[in-house]
RNA sequence: GCGGUCGUGGUGAAGUUGGUUAACACACUGGAUUGUGGCUCCAGCAUUUCGUGGGUUCGAGUCCCAUCGAUCGCCCCA
């Protein structure tokens, strides 16, 4: 019998785990600077949490892992829905200071064809703030994401931003788009036929049709924004300017989830190696999700970062991850020494040191090699002869100096050389 | 879901128009040095085996089909 990881999943081996731990530490530190607190929701929810009526995204329509009676449960394909569901379920709007600020880290699941930077189980870090609708908060949320990307040494990025406007603006625009495209439906691709009904906005960023003059000359949302929406967006841009964050306004940017209103953004890698999956993080404001899950009328804002992509870019951009911690002591043996190495290692660990004892009777040479590989600061040689006098030999691998040390003085000797 | 490329040991890989013995390097293990490593030298290390399962052939790692996986592009998105 031999098994391997299912398609689109992967093991994170110890050497890689060190990188993940480094990254997770940074995520928590940065989130904490903005006073975000972690929230942990289940890895699966009732299917309805994700499959909201009228959602046109592929993620919700054909990429979900559903199971149970009639597919009543679904492995979470994204983080926002679960957080908002939880916020409403526990009526946190009644007990928390607004805006409530949450972050989450964990696996997401989508049934897609795997590719570089696209797995079936992948990891996202995301933030959501709920209960305050203010342009400055939108800008601050984007800044948080950029802080994270920068902390991993990634510099080659571009911030793309757009506004979808409020309901009235969006409704007017959608009608204009339908009216514009309907007579030309034969010129559009199959996916866009569906989009015309469900969410005509998405025709604009269709990869198949975007070169068509028909699409290029389509009505622009900017022309349908009402005063309030326009002012809000200007406020966001001004706030970004104030922080010195450069951005590009992309009026084709509409995002994958249909729940967005007003600000939407994407931060992409400009390095060519990142391939087709260049988006590092993306998100936006959502005015109706809190209400949808049974809460009050409250607006929220958030984004999600793909951590696999972040780590890949950190490596490509030359970020150096912390080295494995060296051992304080590696204990090797000569002759018949019984359980003495174990006892010594145990004592060192009680004192808070990292120690490993070699239990094999291999040649000195190979035991020294093992000690080298462990990058031990000290090699303790427990020999049959010395043990009779209650001593061991201690070699400092930094200086190369070797001394005979009485057992009861070993600990203070090692600590003295720290 | 669609299209292209690929799949040989622990790793990187060589493998000619299908023809006895699957290079080479690194890593690993042991020895030279029977109580002291990081250098050097020597030896061992895929032995019904070339992702898996069928097929063609006197004969297949080399050809065909299927399947699983990886990878790149499309779609989608983090």
CA distance A243 to A239: 7
DSSP-assigned letter for residue A68: S
Instruction: Judge whether A54 lies within some domain.
Output: yes
Question: Measured in angstroms, what separates residue A61's CA from nucleotide B65's C1'?
Answer: 35
Same-domain check for residues A238 and A275: yes
Strand B: which residues 128-167 of A lie within 7 A (CB)?
none
pLDDT at A79 over 80: yes
A40 pLDDT more than 90: yes
What ipTM does the predicted assembly reach? 0.83
Residues A159 and A269 in one domain: yes
Residue scoring higher pLDDT (A186 or A173) = A173
Q: Over 90: is that where the pLDDT of A254 sits?
A: no
Structure tokens at A233: 């967006």
Please report the pLDDT score of residue A58 as a whole number.
Answer: 78
Identify the residue whose tokens are 């309901």: A167
Judge if A295 and A262 occupy the same domain: yes
Give the Cα separation of A287 and A259 in Å (integer).
Answer: 8
Of A13-17, A22-26, A297-301, the poorest mean pLDDT is in A13-17
Distance A18 CA to B35 C1' (A): 37
Q: Which of residues 165-204 of A touch strand B (CB under 7 A)?
A: 191, 202
Total domains in chain A come to: 2
- The residues near A65 (Cβ < 8 Å, ≥ 6 apart) are A74, A75, A77, A109, A110, A111
Query: Is residue A213 a part of any domain in this protein?
Result: no
The H or E element that residue A408 is part of is: none
Given A291, A316, A341, which residue is the final one in a domain? A316
* Domain of residue A113, CATH code: 3.30.930.10
Q: Tell me whether residue A212 is in a domain.
A: no
For the question of whether the overall pTM of this predicted structure is more than 0.95, the answer is no
Spanning CA of A365 to C1' of B14, the rounded length in angstroms is 34
> What is the rounded average pLDDT for all residues in chain A?
89
State residue A44's pLDDT score: 95
- Residue ending a domain, among A316, A347, A381, is A316
Instruction: Evaluate whether residue A210 is within a structural domain.
Output: no
Q: Is residue A192 part of a domain?
A: no
Assess whether A275 (CB) lies less than 7 A from strand B.
yes
Question: Is omega for the bond preceding A99 within 30 degrees of 0, making it cis?
Answer: yes
**Domain boundaries, position A342:** 329-416
A305 C-beta less than 7 Å away from strand B: yes
As a rounded value in angstroms, the CA-to-C1' distance for A2 and B55 is 25
| Residues A340 and A365 reside in one and the same domain | yes
Other beta carbons within 10 Å of A234: 12
Contact assessment for residue A246 and residue A253, using Cβ atoms and an 8 Å cutoff: no
Query: Over 80: is that where the pLDDT of A6 sits?
Result: yes
pLDDT value, residue A335: 83
- Domain assignment present for residue A173? The answer is no
What is the pLDDT at residue A71? 82
CATH number at residue A401: 3.40.50.800
Domain match, A46 and A139 both? yes
Of A281, A316, A351, the last residue of a domain is: A316
- Same-domain pairing of A309 and A406: no
- Percent of chain A exceeding pLDDT 70 equals 96
Q: In whole angstroms, give the CA distance from residue A62 to residue A191.
A: 13
Q: Residues A178-190: what's their mean pLDDT?
A: 78
Q: A266: which nucleotide lies closest, measuring CA to C1'?
A: B78
The nucleotide minimizing the C1' distance to residue A205's CA is B76
CA A362 to C1' B74, in angstroms, rounded, equals 57
Tell me the sheet residues that pair with A44.
A75
Nearest protein residue, CA measured to C1' of B29: A366
Kindly state whether residues A308 and A396 are assigned to the same domain: no
The Cβ of residue A7 has, within 10 Å, a number of other Cβ atoms equal to: 10
Distance CA A194, CA A199 (A): 8
Model pLDDT for residues A389-414, shown as the tens digit of each residue: 999 999 998 888 889 999 999 999 99
Residue A200 lies in a domain: no
Q: How many Å from the CA of A405 to C1' of B33?
A: 26
Q: Cβ within 7 Å of strand B: which of A 213-252?
A: none
Average pLDDT value for residue range A306-311 = 93
- Note whether A56 and A156 are same-domain residues: yes
Do A407 and A285 share a domain, yes or no?
no
Residues A365, A302 share a domain = no
On whether both A299 and A231 belong to a single domain, the answer is yes
Decide: A387 and A337 in contact? Cβ < 8 Å. Answer: yes
Q: Say yes or no: A137 and A269 in one domain.
A: yes
Residues A306-321 have a mean pLDDT of 86
Please give the nucleotide, over all strands, whose C1' is closest to the CA of residue A383.
Answer: B35
Name which residue leads in pLDDT, A272 or A33.
Answer: A33
Chain B nucleotides with an atom closer than 7 Å to a protein C-beta: 1-3, 28-31, 33, 35-38, 68-78
Q: Assess contact for A309 and A280: CB atoms under 8 A.
A: yes
**Rounded CA gap, A19 and A23, in Å?**
6
Mean pLDDT across the stretch A333-349?
90
Strand ranges, E, within A270-360: 279-286, 300-306, 329-334, 355-357
Q: Could you tell me the CA-to-CA distances from A46 to A49, A75, A76, A259, A326 in Å, in that order?
A: 6, 9, 9, 18, 46
Distance A113 CA to B55 C1' (A): 30
Output the CA–CA distances (angstroms, integers) from residue A418 to A248, A346, A370, A400, A411, in the order listed: 52, 19, 21, 15, 11
Under 8 Å CB-to-CB from A313, ≥6 apart: which residues? A152, A154, A269, A271, A274, A280
* pLDDT interval class at A334 (50, 70, 90): confident
Task: State residue A336's pLDDT score.
Answer: 83
**Is A216 domain-assigned?**
no
Segment A276-284 shows an average pLDDT of 89
């Amino acid at each position: 019998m031999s098994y391997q990881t299912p398609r689109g999943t992967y093991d994170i081996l110890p050497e890689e785990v060190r990188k993940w731990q480094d990254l997770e530490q940074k995520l928590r530190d940065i989130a904490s600077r903005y006073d975000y607190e972690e929230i942990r929701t289940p890895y699966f929810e009732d299917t309805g949490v994700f499959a909201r009526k009228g959602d046109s995204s592929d993620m919700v329509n054909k990429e979900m892992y559903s199971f149970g009676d009639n597919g009543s449960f679904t492995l979470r394909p994204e983080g926002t829905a679960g957080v908002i569901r939880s916020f409403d379920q526990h009526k946190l709007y009644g007990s928390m200071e607004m805006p409530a600020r949450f972050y989450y880290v964990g696996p997401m699941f989508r049934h897609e064809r795997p590719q570089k930077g696209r797995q079936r189980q992948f990891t996202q870090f995301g933030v959501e703030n709920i209960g305050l609708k203010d342009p400055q908060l939108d800008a601050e949320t984007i800044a948080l994401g950029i802080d994270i990307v920068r902390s991993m040494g990634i510099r080659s990025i571009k911030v793309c931003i757009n506004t979808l406007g409020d309901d009235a603006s969006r409704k007017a625009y959608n009608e204009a788009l339908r009216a514009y495209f309907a007579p030309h439906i034969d010129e559009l691709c199959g996916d866009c036929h569906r989009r015309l009904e469900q969410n005509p906005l998405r025709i604009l960023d269709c990869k198949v049709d975007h070169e068509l003059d028909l699409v290029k000359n389509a009505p622009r949302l900017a022309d349908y924004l009402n005063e309030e929406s326009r002012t809000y967006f200007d406020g966001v841009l001004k706030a970004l300017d104030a922080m010195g964050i450069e951005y590009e306004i992309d009026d084709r940017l509409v995002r994958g989830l249909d729940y967005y209103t007003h600000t939407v953004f994407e931060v992409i890698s400009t390095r060519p190696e990142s391939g087709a999956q260049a988006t590092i993080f993306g998100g936006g404001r959502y005015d109706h999700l809190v209400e949808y899950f049974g809460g009050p009328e409250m607006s929220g804002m958030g984004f999600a970062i793909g951590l696999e992509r972040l780590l890949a870019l950190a490596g490509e951009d030359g970020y150096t991850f912390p080295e494995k911690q060296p051992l304080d002591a590696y204990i090797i043996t000569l002759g018949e020494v019984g359980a003495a190495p174990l006892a010594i290692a145990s004592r060192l660990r009680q004192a808070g040191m990292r120690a490993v004892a070699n239990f094999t009777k291999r040649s000195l040479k190979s035991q020294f090699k093992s000690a080298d590989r462990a990058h031990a600061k000290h090699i303790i040689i427990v020999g049959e002869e010395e043990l009779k006098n209650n001593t061991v030999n201690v070699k400092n691998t930094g200086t190369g100096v070797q001394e005979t040390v009485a057992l009861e003085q070993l600990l203070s000797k090692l600590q003295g050389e720290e």
